[in-house]
Chains A and B, each alone.
Chain A
Amino acid sequence: MSYLELKDVSVSFGPASNRTEVLSNLNLKVEENEFVAVIGFSGAGKSTLMSLLAGLQEPTNGEVLFKGKPIKGPGPDLGIMFQNYSLLPWLSVNDNVKLAVNKVFPELSKKEVDEKIHNYVEMVRLDHAGDKKPHELSGGMRQRASLARTLSLDPEVLLLDEPLSALDALTRSELQDQILNIWERDKRTVVMITNDVDEAVLMADRIVPLTMGPKATLADEFIVNMERPRDRHTLNDHPEFMRLKAEITRFMMNLNKEAKSLAKPVNTSMPDIAPKDFTVPSGRPQFSRNFKISASPSTPS
């Protein structure tokens, strides 16, 4: 029995006459204390998948099991961190966290609650901005406040819905490290959705690609066999990292091609630009310029 499990899950929208199946036949098993990354293109239905896991949405068919029992609805056990922060704009950062703490730990005294809030806010290094309202914060700070609130629920499963997608590269890597630190310190089960291959390989134990929608489904997983802690500075030269990244990227690219070939051709005049050749020596597969592979050696043609 797995800790968190999707069993033949599918989700459809719309009336019976014109039904669109968004997710089709999903199967996923997440073990306890595992870090799983789901990777997919925009619009593939990643957020719907996350809503399923959090219990915010019920599957049309199949079932979602948590500790062997079907999920009845959302709750603090399944701590979801929303893609668009979802901080309550009329409350300060501390009060946003307090709302969660008060709910999950109703028996704590006022002092203990304050300590706990301070603890979580400090964990994401926002203690200097605890009294600020969300609109006074930058995107990265809001994202961290949201993380602090989710962590304060003390959830058994941490569901991260593209937690870092809205951030600039520097803030992003800083937050990646913070999430990893927190995960490594008190082990938890994490499911993270992302569209960044580097991020997935850096952080996850296992990477599950989501195919292109509609009728998106989960493809075969990639196991990340790399020792922790992973050092982002040396990672780019790590052979396993390079292999995995190339493999996943190729897989995703093929998905993209497949989807494009299925789509109807659109007659749009395109500028005549030749792509730069990113051919990697020793017969490695080709990369699209959609993906930044800064450290990979490339030879100009």
Chain B
Amino acid sequence: MKILSSIKYPLLKAIDISGLTFLSPVVRLCYGEEPSVQLKKIGQWIIIPVAAMLLFIFAWNAGSGLIKTKAGTLPTPGETADALGSINTFADREDLKKEAYNLTGEERLAALAVAEAQLASITPKVQETTDAVAQAKSEHEKSIAVVVEPLEKNYDELKEKFSQAQDKRKQELESVSETLVIGDKASYTKFLDLVKANESQTDAEKTELSSLKAAISDARNDKSKKVALALSMQTKVAEEKQFLEKQIEQLTKRNRSIMVESAETNISTTTEELYQLTGADAYKKARSIAKDESRLEKTIESKYAQPATLWYQVRRSILCVFTGFIIGAGIAIPIGILCGLNSTFMAAMTPFIAIFKPVSPIVWLPIALIIVGGFIPDPENNAVIQWLWKAPLIDIYKINPAFIASAITVALCSLWATLANTALGVASIDKDHMNVARVLKLGFWSRLFKIVIPSALPLIFAGLRISLGVGWMVLIAAELLSSSEGIGKFVWDQFNNGASDSFAKMMVVVFVVGFVGLILDRIMIVFQRLVSFEGSKAAI
């Protein structure tokens, strides 16, 4: 009990620093502090937002059917959630395949037994689902035929009727035209009116026919939910089967230990053969052994070539945004400090800030790509890139020129907020604090690090927070254009893919991007609050 009450205020302070203030009435309520006030706050800051979210999901669900596109209607919340599920399944399966590739000995055999049993159990399902699809389709066709047949009959009859009537009217008009007398204008006028009436009659008949035709094609195209369900079941089962087959492959002939083993036996047999040879044949054999050995070394070191999953792309995007953010901050903070300290330098920098600040990431990116490409024409043979591919922790992200160009674009677009805020923070240092520095006779550097920077830190962090937000938005666009493996590329791939759930996967990305952005912002808020002090200035 005592511990419980002693953590109350530290807990509330932590909530305050992290900016999760909606939690503080919950904590206070748990401690029994003014329940009515806390309940009111919970109602306002938890229940109402949740209700608003539910209302939004409801409206989205109701309204999504109204937006029809070539790629289907706008995905409903349910479809979006399913897409998230399929993204996760894909990621899990890729992890399993990777694991399978690395397994050895008894473990490999055990995993193989499990996978084979699963495959055996799923194989009959493939036929079942295929049958179900065929059945659903034939049922659907029947139900369509019931609607379509009378319509078609009606259409044919009408068409026949109209064409006969048109022929008849044509003959009548031709006979009238025979009776026309040159010079009798009235008869001509009458004839013209008759022709016009005939034309409009014909048009009306055409319209009727085409509307009937449209009704028929609508009825034919009517999508059956049953068929869609059967199809999705079929796809699911087929995907699982394909996965299991692949997994078994990774456990057997594509398994690293198996490949290594077979290569070793191969080498030892060829070595035995070599001992029996002399002359040119021996040279040939020895060369092939040398080649096989170097290949074996590569196999031992090899890793499963995992395709990018969304979560991998999210992590790579976060790495990229922080790379760009740190480059940007590394440029913006020193320049901002110089601008704040020296008005002449500020005057010199103003035109650059004014001109470059509004430049769109779409303009920076191609320039950055060309420049980075100029420095790194061949990543495979570039020492820095090769080092990055082997560096611990970041080796799996395969940092390439597109990644660097995206990070530079992020830096160029995001540094302005930090620069402006740093300059403001440094320029608006309390005169009293500078007087303290003068009385203490602090030198330039200790004045900078003991007075100027601590005093400007809250504003610097406010700027960094804005920069990180801007950088995150810019990055997605940059990745989309530069095909740097990340969230932006995921969206672009889905856009070009056109599978049945691509649209829903893009909707998933909306929430993923929003959620990651929210977390990045919260992290920066915590930092900003930690460096803030009483009376420190707010951001611009």
Interface residues of A (CB under 8 A from B): 54, 56, 73-76, 78-80, 82, 84, 86, 88-91, 99-100, 103-104, 133-135, 153
A75 adjacent to B439 (CB under 8 Å):
yes
Q: Say if the beta carbon of B507 comes within 8 Å of chain A.
A: no
CB pair A135 B533 closer than 8 Å: yes
CA A84 to CA B430, docked complex, whole Å? 11
Are B432 and A82 in contact (CB-based, < 8 A)? yes
Q: Which of B432, B442, B455, B536 contacts A86 (CB 8 A)?
A: B432
| Interface size range on B against A | 20 to 34
B535 at interface by CB-CB < 8 Å: yes
The B interface is mostly helix, strand or loop, or mixed, namely helix
Kindly list chain B residues whose C-beta atoms are within 8 Å of the C-beta of A74.
Answer: 435, 438-439, 441
- Whether the pair B440, A89 counts as a contact (CB closer than 8 A) is no
Alpha-carbon distance between A104 and B439 when the two chains are bound, in angstroms: 11
On whether A99 and B450 interact (CB within 8 A), knowing A76-B440, A89-B534, the answer reads: yes
Question: Does B433 have its Cβ within 8 Å of any Cβ on chain A?
Answer: yes
Interface hub of A73, A88, A153 (most chain B Cβ within 10 A) = A88
Chain B residue with the shortest CB-CB distance to A135: B534
Bound together, the chains give a CA A89 to CA B532 distance in angstroms of 9
Q: Does B454 contact A (CB under 8 A)?
A: yes
B457 at interface, CB cutoff 8 A: yes
Chain B, Cβ-Cβ closest to A75: B441
Assess whether A79 is in contact with B451, with CB atoms less than 8 Å apart.
Answer: no
List the B side residues contacting A86 at CB < 8 Å. Answer: 430, 432-433, 435-436
What chain A residues lie within 8 Å of B446 (beta carbons)? 103
B454–A88 touching, CB < 8 Å:
yes
A85, closest chain B residue (CB): B432
Provide the residues of chain A in CB contact with B451, threshold 8 Å.
88
Contacts of B533 in A (CB 8 A): 89-90, 133, 135
By a CB distance below 8 angstroms, the chain B residues around A90 are 454-455, 457, 531, 533
Of B439, B446, B450, B455, most buried by chain A (CB within 10 Å of CB) is B439
Given A88-B451, A88-B454, A99-B450, also A54-B535 (CB < 8 A): no
Q: Which residue of B lies closest to A87 (CB)?
A: B436
Q: Which residues of B contact A82 (CB under 8 A)?
A: 432, 435-436
Rounded to whole angstroms, the CA-CA distance of A104 and B435 in the bound complex is 16
- Judge whether A103 and B442 touch: CB under 8 Å: yes
Q: Is the CB of B432 within 8 A of A84?
A: yes
- Please give the distance in Å from B448's CB to the nearest CB on chain A: 14
Question: Once the chains are docked, how many angstroms separate the CA of A104 from the CA of B441?
Answer: 9
Which of B430, B454, B534 is A133 in contact with, Cβ under 8 Å?
Answer: B534
Chain B residues with CB below 8 A from A73, complex form: 438, 441
Q: How far is B432's CA from A99's CA once the two chains are assembled, in angstroms?
A: 15
Task: Answer whether A56 and B438 are a contact pair too, CB < 8 Å, given A133-B533, A135-B534.
Answer: yes
Interface 1/0s, chain B 498-540, versus A by CB < 8 A? 0000000000000000000000000000000001011110000
21 contacts between A and B (CB under 8 A): A54-B439, A56-B438, A56-B439, A75-B439, A75-B441, A78-B439, A79-B439, A88-B433, A88-B455, A89-B535, A89-B536, A90-B454, A90-B455, A91-B454, A99-B440, A103-B441, A103-B442, A133-B533, A134-B534, A135-B534, A135-B535
Q: Which residue of A lies closest to B446 (CB)?
A: A103
Which residues of chain B come closer than 8 Å to A56, judged between CB atoms?
435, 438-439
